[in-house]
Amino acid sequence: MLHKYRHILAKLAALLLAPILLLAGHFLNNKGLDELQALRQIERIPPADIGALMPGAVNIYGPAASLGRTVTSPYTKTPTLYYRYLHEIEKRDSDGDTYWDTVEDYSDTVNFEITDSTGSITANTESYKSLIHWSVEESFQTVKGDHRYTEWRIDPDKYLFVLGYIKADQQKHSLTFPDNKNFRPIISTYDQDYEQQELGTYGILYLWGGIALLGFGIFCIAFLINLHRVWIYLLIVMLTLSTYLAQISLSMLKQDMVDASQRLQEQETYAEHYLAQASPDVARSIRINLTATWLQAQEQSQRVPEKLLAPLWGITITAPDINVSAEEQAKAEKLVAELPSTQLRSGLLAMAAILAFILGSLFAWGGIRFIKHKRIIENIATQKTAGVVPGITEVKGTVVLDKEEALQGPLTSCDCVWYDYRVEELRSSGKNSSWVTIEHDTDEVIFACKDETGELRINPKSAEVLTDHRHVRRTRRIVANDLRYTELSLRVGDPLFAIGEAVVDRERCDHVRMQKKGKQWPFIISNRSEEEVMMNRGRWGLFWMNFGFSGLMYSTLLMFAQAGSFSPLDILMSALVAPLYMFLFMIALHYNDLVFLQQRVDRNYANIQTALKKRKDLMPNLEKLAKALMKHEADLMEKVTALRTQHMNAMKNSQAIMGFLGQEHQLFGQVKVVCEKYPQLKSNKSIKQLMTIIRNLEDEIELLRSGYLNAINLYNTRVDSFPDMFLARTAGFDKKQRIF
């Protein structure tokens, strides 16, 4: 009941988290794309001489100069063109750790002038102060007592990188900084390369976070609908992310093309008017800048997929109708060639890419390990305890005691065969608190799984135990921290599902028992159903694969970024690389599944051969029995002799096994009938022992035959099923013919 209650809570949590994660992922993706859109905006606007500026977006670099007015910074009292002032006070949390708390944080500016060798222009910053993205170096900081004061300033003569906008209706040019989602105004004391690096770094981080959250949102939906097929899950992730990112990427590409076309048309429209009034030097700069704008737009339109999509969107890039000399053409080409491309060259980012790839691979492999366990549970048919042979096996039954006495649960005092007991203390750190383990104890005894055919001993040491028995008690203490006691247990009488490796029992060499042996196979013991255990493995597998997906995707994004590639197509490819990489894991896993199922069929057939050899060893005893029965049934000796010869042939020819077993079964049946007819034979001790052995061997061979048929049916089903059928045909996995 408690397990069902927790399961319902988990479903409710997934139901609440799914829309939150999807919306948060969408928000971060949009934020990341905004950063990259701003980055591409910088890249596609060539730097221009101030004297040759025309209406539209402009990229200029030069020293700032006062127009006669300044503002005074609050702390240093420095006359400046812009400042940001931050006043903080040092405080302590409940653990004694210090932190800085903001007391004041504000800024102010005046209009100022930017100049270069060709002229000057006024930056209208007062009207647009809140819309400008200010990127200013720290100018001053001091600490007095528990107060800290910091200023960021733009002083006169400070060189600035400025991305602004010139309106066409102005009598005299001045820079404005409009609120436009497709244009981000920037005033920076750093250079253009630094701003591109910042935008690229944050764009990649936001995109990574957004796509990762979308992946976990899809995981929550998969949890809600009980989806555990990995290839279906990865296919859904790929289709969802590719469709979503393709739509966003195409929108981003279209906006890039529209902006480039509009900017070219806008500059071309005003070029004729400005060229007629400009001096020869300024006219030359205008022609060079306009040609550079056209060359860049033309280069952008010739890339793939822009070249294919531009006609569909009705976007054309035509050369401006101006006379350009060969020297001006060469200058424009050089200007475009020298435009700084964004490459994240930080050594830390390179290390982050490598670390993300390693962690992503480890998480992915951890997820694959859980999925592998799930698939082993799917691929192994449940065995009756009497038919368990050495090797990986799966049984169901009831928990019963073997030779040892039951354990007593430390918290519940219940009879159990395994428990995990933990004592935790609630400790606080500032505003946060957490439970810290102060005592942990685990104990187990060898027990047995009982079903209608017998018992199988199980040593639970080192097993992964999944149990519904979880008992928690909390004590509240006034003068000390609260304590929490937790007991997990597997109790006597519980229903049992167990999967693990059966080995020869050293205490009883004619029996096997289940225990941990190496790391090749899972060893899971649970009082939950097989389906619940399988779903548990599948969900954990998908969960860790999501972390692996996130790490691999982040690594791919960083590698693209370090190569200077921030196009929407690269973003789409980055989101698909991780699922494709994991599909390679899945192909390997499916291949290993087929190998395992094929070997399992061969192993089960070999077990039948071993059982037949046991039958052969009984023949001398059976001959003695037949001699004892000859006076009652004269033909028994003849049949036993014929059976011995047929046994030798059956061991050499697998097709004859079924016929041999049928005749053997008839003969043993006849022996039983004779023994029942004659009381003096029925009471003979040796005959009774032999008949018991014969019955046990018949039961064993029937169980082995059932296991063989299950193995061959499962193998043939997988070979004919999607998607294994393609891999089976490619790798040469042929269907197995049933021998009997």
Statement: residue 213 has pLDDT above 70: yes
Residues 6+ apart with CB under 8 A from 334: none
pLDDT band at 526 (very low <50, low <70, confident <90, very high): very high
Has residue 390 got a pLDDT over 80?
no
> Which pLDDT tens digit goes with each residue over 4-22?
567 788 888 889 999 999 9
> 25-38, pLDDT tens digit by residue?
889 888 888 888 88
pTM tops 0.75, yes or no? no
Q: How much is the pLDDT for 683?
A: 47
Whether the CA torsion 199, 201, 202, 208 is positive or negative: it is: positive
- Which amino acid, one-letter code, is at 427? R
* Side chain identity at residue 43, one-letter code: E
CATH of 580-731, one of 1.20.1440.20, 3.40.640.10, 2.60.120.380, 3.40.50.300: 1.20.1440.20
Is residue 389 predicted with pLDDT exceeding 60? yes
Who wins on pLDDT, 7 or 686?
7
Q: At what angle do helices 685-720 and 568-629 cross, to 10 degrees?
A: 160
pLDDT of residue 424: 92
pLDDT at 1 over 50: no
Q: Per-residue pLDDT averaged across 545-571, rounded?
A: 72
Picking from 35, 37, 703, 716, the residue whose alpha carbon sits closest to that of residue 382 is 703
Beta-bridge partners for 376 = none
User: Which tens digits make up the pLDDT trace of 118-165?
Assistant: 889 999 999 899 999 999 999 999 999 999 999 999 999 999 999 998
Alpha-carbon distance of 589 to 376, in angstroms, equals: 11
CA dihedral 674, 680, 684, 690 (to 10 degrees): 0
Cα separation, 398 vs 499, whole angstroms: 14
Residue 399: predicted pLDDT: 94
Q: Are strands 454-458 and 512-515 parallel, antiparallel or unpaired?
A: parallel
pLDDT in tens, 54-65: 788 888 999 999
Q: Within 10 A of 660 (CB to CB), how many other CB atoms are there?
A: 20
Q: What is the mean pLDDT of residues 409-434?
A: 87
Helix (H) or strand (E) holding 32: helix 2-44
pLDDT at 624: 61
Helix (H, G, I), strand (E, B) or coil at 346: coil
Residue 541's pLDDT is what? 85
The pLDDT value given to residue 225: 86
Q: Are 242 and 576 in contact (CB under 8 A)?
A: yes
Q: From CA 734, how far away is CA 590, in angstroms rounded?
A: 15
DSSP 342: P
Residues 124, 177 contacting (CB under 8 angstroms) = yes
Q: Give the pLDDT score at 125.
A: 93
CA–CA distance, 707 with 672 (Å, rounded to integer): 27
Give the model's pLDDT for residue 690.
Answer: 61
Neighbours of 277 (CB within 10 A): 8
Q: pLDDT band for position 707 (50/70/90)? A: low
Distance between CA atoms of residues 615 and 640, nearest Å = 12
Backbone dihedral angles phi then psi of residue 551, each to the nearest 5 degrees: -65, -45
> 213 to each of 22, 252, 540, how far by Cα in Å?
7, 21, 17
Identify which of 348-362, 453-467, 549-563 has the greatest average pLDDT: 453-467
| 3-state SS, residue 653 | coil
pLDDT at 685: 58
- Mean pLDDT over residues 527-553, rounded? 85
Cα 175 to chain centroid distance, Å, stands at 47
The C-alpha atoms of residue 242 and residue 250 are separated, in whole angstroms, by 11
Rounded Cα distance between 316 and 338, Å, is 25
Q: What is the C-alpha to C-alpha distance for residues 193 and 161, in angstroms, rounded to an integer? A: 10
Q: Evaluate whether 203 touches 29 at the Cβ level (below 8 Å).
A: no
pLDDT surpasses 60 at 663:
no
Per-residue pLDDT, 637: 45
pLDDT at 700: 64
For the cut 60, the answer to whether the pLDDT of residue 257 exceeds it is: yes
**Chain CA centroid to CA 621, Å:** 62
Q: Where are the domains of the chain?
A: 6-337, 373-535, 580-731
